[in-house]
Chains A and B, each alone.
Chain A
Amino acid sequence: MKLVTAIIKPFKLDDVKSALEAYGIQGMTVSEASGYGRQRGHTEVYRGAEYTVDLVPKVRLEVLVEDDDADSVVEVVVKSAQTGRIGDGKVWTVPVETVARVRTGERGPDAL
């Protein structure tokens, strides 16, 4: 199994969620996050003084999938989250040792 983690623009969450549901993904975890990549935040001006805001609001989306699905899920996220402009985010996968469903105690792919 793999954990797919995506950092995306907050306003793209609905598109990504719909696309993942259409692909057949049944659950996900979403949290608010902040950070920056190559776009390096933005500047704001208060009473004429410039402030650099490094950390931009983002959404962090996590999905557990079977090994075979991982590449396709990454593909689905990239396609649905893309605006083509700087700051679109990142997607990555990491191997997962085990997964257990709390309600039943099922292990492995059955628990997904």
Chain B
Amino acid sequence: MDLNSGDTAWVLASTALVLLMTPGLAFFYGGMTQAKSTLNMMMMSFITICIVSVLWVVYGFSLAFTDSGSGLIGTISKSGLGTAVNELTNNGGPYGIPLLAFAGFQLMFAVITPALISGAIADRTKFLTWGVFVALWVTLVYFPVAHWVFYFGNKAADGTVTGAGWLAAKGVEDFAGGTAVHINAGAAGLALAIVLGRRIGFKKNPTRPHNLPLVLMGAGLLWFGWFGFNAGSALGANATAALALMNTQVATAAALGGWLLVEKIRDGHPTSLGAASGAVAGLVAITPACAFIAPWAAVLLGVLAGAVCSLAVGLKYKLNYDDSLDVVGVHMVGGIVGCLFIGFFGSSAVNAVGIDGLFYGGGWKLLGLQALGAFSVLAYSFVVTLILGFLLEKTLGFRISRDAELEGIDLTEHAETAYDFEGALGGGFGSGSVATKTKVALRADEEVPA
């Protein structure tokens, strides 16, 4: 197969789109925290870009996307990516795109997945431990799970496929990462929320989002980037990409409406946080299903995901775990809804690669496969993260001190604050500002005016 410039261009552009989702997530989460911990929240996302990108080149891509024969994890044969230069992609079949374009695209998935987890442990996580956790978690959880779900093996010229990940080989349908990204991150978020414990004032004196416009902007950026996430997963500029794009749009729109409908009926008011949350719930749910169902079914999935997730975020108050920004309620629950939905509405007429679900005469087979995919990833991620979390808690310590949490994690972990609250006019005549100016003048060896 020759290089296809149209396909390659789309995958390169999609890579940039998916990268933007991580800063978008930082805004989405950052607006939901208190003013005193917003920078830390955003930094938890940004640091994943740093750590995971480096690990990806060193061994991450190789562990996820090479053939070891086990179906559980790859090899280190492509460490450093030196041998990948000038190679074309073969993932269950040949693609006309450079292997490095595929590797770059998949890297962005590996970056955002641990970033998603950070929302469960807002306001209280030691930054150093978080960094160590991200490195260990992608190695022990994300790279193997990506291998299970996203690696379709090496297809030889005679048509034999070897080494596919065990879930991919069984035929579990997850187009863009409902299991490997969202259920994975959601289950890990639940585990860490349990390890770190509840924030001071959970339920008794809860904190409200400090900047909802930031949340809405983050949701908008996520939505924009998600077209790369879902439609880019077609690995080509083709009809499958168009289907994924359309389904992504309508499911998200419908989920936004579904969430607001529940709010209007239950609380009396449709809220902006509800609109942002509903959109993200829809994006999560359509992710596995986007290339396997018809657009009208995507609308149905969207409404369902918006309504179910808006009810699921209340679970933490009943079960007493502080999943601060609802990673479980939105990503784990939304991911499960999307994965199982394919079992009912999946159609081989829509995508010849897929098989028919329950409503298309395919029987229970596909639903069974989807449940296996969803719950095996959930269980593996939850158990490994729980163990990893407790080990880090016992060694490095995972949670900041009570005083630091009260004072604000931005100041204690980063020596910064997001906003200048000095003085009624924005700090123009605050004593701190004057002191700063004096210091700058002295440093430049200028004379201080008498």
Tell me the residues in window 207-221 of chain B with beta carbons closer than 8 Å to chain A beta carbons: 208-209
> Which residues of chain B come closer than 8 Å to A38, judged between CB atoms?
none
Contacting pair A51 B267 (CB below 8 A)? no
A46 within 8 A of B: yes
Q: Is B119 an interface residue (CB 8 A)?
A: no
| B206 contacts A45, C-beta separation under 8 Å | no
Q: Quick one: closest A residue to B273, CB to CB?
A: A46
Give the size category of A's interface with B. Answer: 10 to 19
Judge if B450 is at the interface, Cβ distance under 8 Å. Answer: no
List residues of chain B with CB within 8 A of the CB of A31.
424
- Residues of chain B from 257 to 310 with CB closer than 8 A to chain A in the complex: 263, 266-267, 269, 271, 273-274, 277, 310
Which of B297-352 touch A at CB < 8 Å? 310, 313-314, 317, 326
Pairwise interchain contact B271-A45, C-beta atoms closer than 8 A? yes
Q: Which residues of A contact B267 (CB under 8 A)?
A: 45, 48
Are A49 and B206 touching (Cβ within 8 A)? Answer: yes
User: Is the Cβ of B424 less than 8 Å from the Cβ of A47?
Assistant: no
B:167-209 near A, CB below 8 Å: 206, 208-209
A46 and B266 in contact, given A31-B424, A32-B424 (Cβ under 8 angstroms): no
Q: Are B317 and A49 in contact (CB under 8 A)?
A: yes
Instruction: Check A51–B208 contact: CB distance below 8 A.
Output: yes
From DSSP, what is the main secondary structure of chain A's interface residues?
strand
Residues of A within 8 A of B269 (CB): 45
Is A44's beta carbon under 8 Å from chain B? Answer: yes
Interface string of B25-36 (1 = CB under 8 A from A): 000000000000
Expressed in whole angstroms, the Cα–Cα distance for A45 and B264 within the complex equals: 11
List, in ascending order, chain B residues with CB within 8 A of A44's CB. 208
Closest-by-CB residue of A relative to B259 is A47
In the complex the two chains form, is A47's CB within 8 Å of B313's CB? yes
Neighbour of A51 across the interface among B206, B310, B313, CB < 8 A: B206
Number of A-B pairs, beta carbon distance below 8 Å:
30
Q: What's the interface size class on B, roughly?
A: 10 to 19
Interface residues of A in 19-68 (CB under 8 A from B): 31-32, 44-49, 51, 53
Is the pair A48, B313 in contact by a Cβ cutoff of 8 Å?
Answer: yes
In the complex the two chains form, what is the Cα distance from A32 to B421 in whole Å? 13
A57 vs chain B, min Cβ distance (A): 13
B310 cross-chain contacts in A, Cβ below 8 A: 47-48
Minimum CB–CB distance from B300 to chain A (whole Å) comes to: 23
Q: Once bound together, how far apart are the Cα atoms of A32 and B271, in whole Å?
A: 27
Chain A residues contacting B313 (CB-CB under 8 Å) are 47-48
Alpha-carbon gap, A69 to B273, bound state (A):
50
> What CA separation (Å) do A48 and B271 show in the bound complex?
10
Q: Chain B contacts of A48 at CB under 8 A?
A: 263, 266-267, 310, 313-314
Is B273 a contact partner of A47 (Cβ separation < 8 A)? yes
Q: How far is the CA of A53 from the CA of B207 in the complex (A)?
A: 10
Report A-chain residues with C-beta under 8 Å of the C-beta of B274. 47
Known pairs A51-B206, A51-B208; A46 contacts B314 (CB<8 A): no
A78 to B: closest C-beta gap in Å = 26
Distance in angstroms from B336 CB to nearest chain A CB is: 19
Contact A46-B271, Cβ < 8 Å, known A51-B206, A51-B208: yes
**What is the CB-to-nearest-CB distance from B61 to chain A, in angstroms, rounded to a whole number?**
37
A26 CA / B184 CA spacing, docked (Å)? 67
Whole-angstrom CA separation of A25 from B347 in the bound complex: 78
The answer to whether B206 touches A47, judged by C-beta atoms less than 8 angstroms apart, is no
Q: Is A46 a contact of B208 with CB atoms below 8 Å? A: yes
Given the complex of chains A and B, what is the CA–CA distance between A44 and B269 in angstroms? 10
Minimum CB–CB distance for B64 against chain A, Å: 34
Residues of B within 8 A of A (CB): 206, 208-209, 263, 266-267, 269, 271, 273-274, 277, 310, 313-314, 317, 326, 424
Task: Show 14 residue pairs from A and B whose CB-CB distance is below 8 angstroms, ordered by the A residue.
Answer: A31-B424, A32-B424, A44-B208, A45-B267, A46-B209, A47-B273, A47-B310, A47-B326, A48-B266, A48-B313, A48-B314, A49-B206, A49-B317, A51-B208
Known A-B contacts: A47-B273, A47-B310, A48-B266. Give 11 more (CB < 8 A).
Answer: A45-B269, A46-B208, A46-B271, A47-B277, A47-B314, A47-B326, A48-B267, A48-B313, A48-B314, A51-B208, A53-B208
A residues engaging B (CB < 8 A)? 31-32, 44-49, 51, 53
In the A-B complex, the 3 residue pairs with the smallest Cβ-Cβ separation, listed nearest first, are A45-B267, A51-B208, A47-B313
